[in-house]
Chains A and B, each alone.
Chain A
Amino acid sequence: MSLTDASAPTTTRRLSTSKAMVEAVAAEMDRDQDVFVMGEDVGAYGGIFSSTTGLLDRFGPQRVVDTPISETAFIGAAIGAAVEGMRPIAELMFADFFGVCMDQIYNHMAKIHYESGGNVRVPMVLTTAVGGGYSDGAQHSQCLWGTFAHLPGMKVVVPSSPADAKGLMTSAIRDDNPVVYMFHKGIMGLPWMAKNPRSVGPVPEEDYEVPIGKAAIARPGTDVTIATLSLSVHHALDVADELADNDIDCEVVDLRSLVPLDTDTILESVGRTGRLLVVDEDYRSFGVSGEIIARVAERDPGMLSAPPMRVAVPDVPIPYARGLEDAVLPTADRIRSAVFGVMGR
């Protein structure tokens, strides 16, 4: 089974994103003995953001492995195990921590297949928590997906809904390439963090894949395309619902994957609406928002009836104090203002 658009789930069972994600990992661990999980606090704790809850009890410490705080060593170990044909899932607790282990990620995990002329595969998943909105400061709140997507050789998936979290995880584990699976803490449905109602949703019970590299139209509309990802999809949908009363019909494109990026779906949407707003919780400069606008401009700037706009984190570190952080994150207020702006109102 394959889910290619957001409306496909017909189930009434509702799960949080974290539970949906864990369900996919557990199903793949049942199906394939080569799948195992390792990372910091993935065992008894169940993942700081509940990405591995219950897996230790079910599969034991041989397959759900707590590691020392040695990201270079254990991410590198995952690479070596993958090279030998296993399918490890390694968790980098926060994407912000990539500084201590990026060499293994971008120089090894991402390059071995290419350097080997395709003779060595690295089928692994690197899961990592991203995002802010809960005053965790400049070193624990970043998204940074643009950095990973910039570097060739790794797929990058960024789910926004429980159903996609499950289907993208299944696809990521089964993929023969390294896949970086970036989950926003704010979409996980954690009981200890403010959450959008969209962090709990219908999730089919059976196994299914959400194809990597296929965006979803999260909400069809005719006036403006909001291309976005992860938690910002929730905010964009909220704003779209609200603006329907103002006779602005927003189409929300949930990118779901950054690598590969589904340029066709973006272009088709912009072709229909003629207006583009990119909402991105990563830094503004040299990142996802600029890339998407560039891809539209490269195809045909004439598609745009108004200059494109973007709502992203201005190029400052994420501040701590609540009011300061809200000022830089892509909040509903900023998205709403930008929609008005791109609509010329």
Chain B
Amino acid sequence: MDTATRLDLYRMMVLIRTFEEAILREYHADKKPVFDIGAGAIPGEMHLSAGQEPVAAGVCAHLTSADAVTATHRPHHFAIAHGVDLHRMTAEIFGRVDGLGKGRGGHMHLFDPDVHFSCSGIIAEGYPPALGQAMAFQRRGTDSVAVAVTGEGAANQGAFHESLNLAALWQLPVVFVVEDNEWGISVPRSASTCVTSNADRAAGYGIPGLRVEDNSVEGVHRAAAEAVARARTGEGPSLLEVHTLRLWGHFEGDPQGYRHDLDGVPGRDPLPTYEQELRGDGVLDEATVKSVAAEAADRVEDAIAFARRSPAPDPKAAFDLVFA
């Protein structure tokens, strides 16, 4: 892999991690000393994606703003990697008028039509709309593709299987991505799923199934290249599962008492791992690490400042926009 691509992947992972760390800070800042999920500048459930950066960075490197992504309740990494407007996304997380949804959506409901991005808080239910986006692309003769993301827990939902069948049947330009972070909230994959790899399930629908085992961004990048190219050239859908890592809780405030693997987690963090690898290969030096971090921090803090400056919505606006 060329140096420029490796650096781009690294930059994207750093940007995502920097964003998630900033949201973590802002989210908890005014929920002390007693955690109240509904309190503070960022209220509500907060599902952060630290540890899962390789999936978004590796997949979205192959996409343009003409491609669609449907993400999950844990959407920030894919939103950022797919080029969702960072300012308006952050303002939405803060529930402000300049947010993507003008404060009506929240962090699980981010919609940026400029880059065909959406997400859904309902497990597996982001798959079906991706089929329709792919249909529209196909019918209009474009080579755009739709990437549908979900977690390993969702692979046991009907929507998942209905979608794989329909996409395979109609040879739709879709890439199905499964982020296997091993945990459906507190239920381990071993207690939820009858196969060791959801990629094996692709065979049941006659489509290629790939699994990236090591949460490496370059592994994801290589596998996604194949899947995206297939979709783009009319060869139909593929399923790509990545064995990734949920570095933090299911949502903020999750005590993770069930999490027997926590001791080993820091060593599995993909970001320092990749940084070490790039340093070892002479791609990264200390100065570049610092400049990448500084650039990411600038962008993220600028977005947070934008969100904080944006006014809260007029309560009366709650009654608007039910219909077009």
Which residues of A does B touch, CB under 8 Å? 36, 62, 67-68, 70, 72-86, 88, 100, 103-104, 107-108, 111-121, 123, 152-153, 155, 176-177
Contact = CB atoms under 8 A, between A and B. Distances in A.
Contacts of B118: 83, 112, 116, 120
A153 B321 CA distance: 9
Interface in B149-173: 158-159, 162-163, 165-166, 169
A80 B132 contact: yes
Interface stretch (B22-30, B74-82, B133-141): B133-141
6 contacts: A80-B130, A88-B132, A107-B120, A107-B122, A118-B102, A177-B323
Interface stretch (B103-111, B213-221, B262-270): B103-111
Contact of A115 (B101, B116, B127): B101
A120 B163 contact: no
Given A70-B165, A77-B128, A113-B322, 18 more contacts: A36-B139, A72-B159, A73-B159, A76-B129, A79-B132, A80-B68, A83-B129, A86-B136, A103-B125, A112-B111, A112-B118, A114-B321, A115-B101, A116-B101, A116-B104, A116-B111, A117-B111, A117-B321
B319 to A, nearest CB: 10
A155 B323 contact: yes
B191 interface: no
Contacts of A111: 109
Given A67-B166, A83-B118, A73 B322 contact: no
A119 B104 CA distance: 11
Contact of A83 (B100, B125, B132): B132
A112 B127 CA distance: 15
B88 to A, nearest CB: 9
A81 B116 CA distance: 12
Nearest to B324: A176
B58 interface: no
Nearest to B321: A118
B131 interface: yes
A86 B129 CA distance: 13
A121 B322 contact: no
A16 to B, nearest CB: 31
B160 to A, nearest CB: 10
A117 B113 CA distance: 11
Contacts of B236: none
Contacts of A72: 125, 128, 158-159, 162-163
A46 B69 CA distance: 34
Given A84-B132, A86-B139, A103 B122 contact: yes
B166 A68 contact: yes
Nearest to A63: B139
Nearest to A78: B132
A273 to B, nearest CB: 31
Contacts of B102: 117-118
A115 to B, nearest CB: 4
Contacts of B112: 119
B324 A76 contact: no
A152 B319 CA distance: 11
Nearest to B101: A117
A157 B122 CA distance: 27
A197 B322 CA distance: 38
Most buried by B among A111, A117, A152: A117
Contact of B104 (A62, A82, A114): A114
A68 B102 CA distance: 37
B54 interface: no
Contact of B125 (A104, A114, A118): A104
Nearest to A152: B322
Nearest to B114: A119
A73 B135 CA distance: 12
Contact of A108 (B129, B139, B165, B324): B129
Contacts of A85: 136
B99 interface: yes
Given A67-B166, A72-B158, A115-B105, A83 B323 contact: no
A151 to B, nearest CB: 11
Contacts of B322: 113-114, 152-153
A86 B138 CA distance: 12
B113 A77 contact: no
Contacts of A152: 322
B146 interface: yes
Which 8 residue pairs are nearest across A and B when measured between Cβ atoms?
Answer: A76-B128, A80-B132, A117-B102, A84-B136, A80-B129, A116-B111, A73-B162, A77-B132
Nearest to B167: A73
A77 B125 contact: no
Nearest to B102: A117
Contacts of A77: 128-129, 131-132, 135, 166
Given A84-B136, A107-B122, A121 B166 contact: no
B314 to A, nearest CB: 13
A107 B125 contact: yes
A340 B136 CA distance: 55
A155 B323 CA distance: 9
A81 B132 contact: yes
Given A115-B101, A177-B324, A120 B166 contact: no
